[in-house]
Amino acid sequence: MKPRVRFAPSPTGYLHIGGARTALFNWLYARHTGGTLVLRIEDTDAARNSQEAVDVILNGLRWLGLDWDEGPLTPDATGPCKGDRGPYFQSQRKENYQRRVEALLSRGLAYEHEGAIKFKMTREPITIPDLVVGDVVRPLTDREQLDPDWVLVRSDGQPVFHFVNVVDDLEMGITHVIRGEDHLSNTAKHIALFRAFGVEPPKYAHIPLILNGDGSKMSKRDKGASLTNYLDEGFLPEAVDNYLCLLGWSPKDNLEKLSLAEVIERFDLPQILRHNAKFDFEKLLWLQGEYCRELAPDRFYELAVHAFAKKGVDTNKLDVNYVKAALDTCRGKIKTFAELPAYAGFYFTDTIEYDVEAVKKDFVPENKPRLEKLRDAFAHAPAFDAGSLEAALKETAKILGVKAGVLVHPCRLAVTGKTSGPSLYHLLQVLGKERVLARIEKALAGI
């Protein structure tokens, strides 16, 4: 029988990076085994849930490239879904829970208590056979020994998470539950419930948690905890996917950069690591740089244009060849698209803001005649292309008896306002004679 796995997030308005990895691991297992991935929305908390919150999850998964075989097609709980085991929103499954409670009640496995309905929990220790951790024996804690029974349905009629989760997994035919290790202890409750329904529980695989760099738990307010954050910062989904795979799983042959297709081939449950991992932003950034560098030109332009648009710079109004030429000088230089507007903004504005420290260093009186000479050399260069400009600059330096760097730095500052950026000669070529001479002139006036 082919495995049926599920990702069952609660729509809280954001998708936790750990949740994203749980989704990824479920997806990988489904694709590796040829099984089915079910997406189920656990929206029992009507007050807190909203369509927008569901949309965050759907968009996040789609961005990562994780498709599901069964589940919602839109964020609307009553909207279209695919799959024949629906509904896939818990808010639409009330009758199921009702029916299941009555079954337990009628068999004396649950009882009413102060308006709530409680489950008669086993007193004996329960063994959780976990595919990642191994057999885990979970006895009752001292507090549980005082009252081992737990609430299935609140006094207001709302069923609790542990109950609906198990009922849905049972009715949706889930064979493998792959989820965060924070659920490991409570799995005893789930197993007991499955047995109460006379069904063998699914196989469990509890994956380690993702922690902050300092080892603390990644909570909602931690920057970097939300997947949306990476989307907004201009990360590439393939970089995020790749990095997430490396957290708690390893291809084992010293491979670091690998595609999802390669991971699908190698991925399996027993190889999942048992210990938590700290999130290393620097390593993600490195992978991001790797993928960014090999981006197809069209996609690079598209993402770059989008990044500028987000900063209020509409490059669509400009000559497309100019924009492409400008962006080409940035390829391989930036890592995330979010840094692009600051990196190459000088191409699309005539208001150059000079780096204050660099001005003190490079816009000094002795550089004024040098910059004037350079301006003249550029003005009379046989052609305004990178090669000619480089030759002109070096020739000028030679005449002045200075190193090329003496001219390079003030020139870059005058034209871009910055101390670093794309190749100087190439950016001069892209900017064109008119802009370059005007900017040097303007800088000269301020020295």
d(CA 63, CA 57): 10
The span of 64-72, 113-121, 193-201, 227-235 binding RNA (CB under 7 A) equals: 113-121
87 preceded by cis ω (within 30°)? Answer: yes
> Which residues, 6+ apart, have CB-to-CB distance to 167 below 8 Å?
93, 96, 97, 100, 159
Distance CA 176, CA 188 (A): 15
- The correct pick among 57, 126, 196, 246 for binding RNA (CB under 7 A) is 246
From 17, 61, 151, 326, residue interacting with RNA (rule: CB under 7 A): 151
CA angle 34, 205, 185 (to 5 degrees): 155
Asked whether position 275 contacts RNA by CB under 7 A, the answer is: yes
Task: Give Cα 319 to chain centroid, integer Å.
Answer: 33
Nearer to RNA, 79 or 125 (CB): 125
CB of 82 to RNA, least distance (A): 22
Tell me whether residue 19 or residue 35 sits nearer to RNA (CB atom): 19
Which residues from 185-224 bind RNA, rule CB under 7 A?
185-186, 208-209, 211, 213, 215-217
Catalytic residue flag (residue 220)? yes
Min CB(269)–RNA separation in Å: 13
Taking Cα atoms as reference points, which of 162, 221, 160 lies closest to residue 13?
221
DSSP string across 385-433: SHHHHHHHHHHHHHHHT--HHHHHHHHHHHHHSSSS-S-HHHHHHHH-H
- Binding to RNA (CB under 7 A) within 337-396 occurs at none
CA distances in angstroms from 158 to 106, 163, 192, 301, listed in the order given: 19, 10, 20, 50
Q: At CA 331, angle to CA 330 and CA 335, rounded to 5?
A: 90
Compute how many other C-beta atoms are within 10 angstroms of the C-beta atom of residue 235: 24
Q: Does 47 bind RNA (CB under 7 A)?
A: no
Interface with RNA by CB under 7 A: which range of 27-35, 95-103, 268-276, 433-441? 268-276
Instruction: Choose the binding region for RNA from 30-38, 267-275, 294-302, 306-314 (rule: CB under 7 A).
Output: 267-275
Residue whose C-alpha is closest to residue 7's, from 207, 194, 158: 207
Residue 155 is a binding residue for RNA (CB under 7 A): yes
Cβ distance to RNA smaller for residue 131 or 313: 131
Of 21, 40, 162, 439, the one binding RNA by CB under 7 A: 162
| Packing angle, helices 424-431 and 404-416, rounded to 10 | 40
Nearer to RNA, 35 or 307 (CB): 307
Cβ 25 vs Cβ 66: under 8 Å: no
Considering only residues 114 to 143 of the shown chain, the ones binding RNA according to CB under 7 A are: 114-116, 133-134, 136-139, 141-143
The single residue among 333, 373, 433, 435 that binds RNA, judged by CB under 7 A, is 333
Binders of RNA: how many residues, by CB under 7 A? Answer: 77
First to last CA, the chain: 78
Local structure of residue 140 (DSSP, 8 states): P
Looking at the Cβ atoms of 35 and 71, the one nearer to RNA is: 71
Q: How far is the CB of 347 from RNA (least distance, A)?
A: 14
Instruction: Report how far residue 235's alpha carbon sits from residue 232's, in angstroms, rounded to the nearest whole number.
Output: 7
Site for RNA in 397-436 (CB under 7 A): 397, 403-405, 408-409, 412, 419-424
* Closer residue to RNA (CB): 274 or 311: 274
**282 lies in the binding site for RNA (CB under 7 A):** yes
CB of 142 to RNA, least distance (A): 4
Catalytic residue among 94, 203, 217, 220: 220
**Beta carbon nearer to RNA, 143 or 221:** 143
Q: Which stretch binds RNA (CB under 7 A): 108-116, 230-238, 359-367, 432-440?
A: 108-116
The phi, psi pair for 171, rounded to 5°, reads: -75, -25
For residue 140, the minimal CB distance to RNA (Å) is 7
Contacting range for RNA; rule: CB under 7 A; set: 159-167, 234-242, 296-304, 432-440:
159-167
Is 101 one of the binding residues for RNA (CB under 7 A)? Answer: no
Q: Quote the least distance from Cβ 37 to RNA, whole Å.
A: 19
Both tokens of residue 319? 């000559």
> What are the catalytic residues?
220
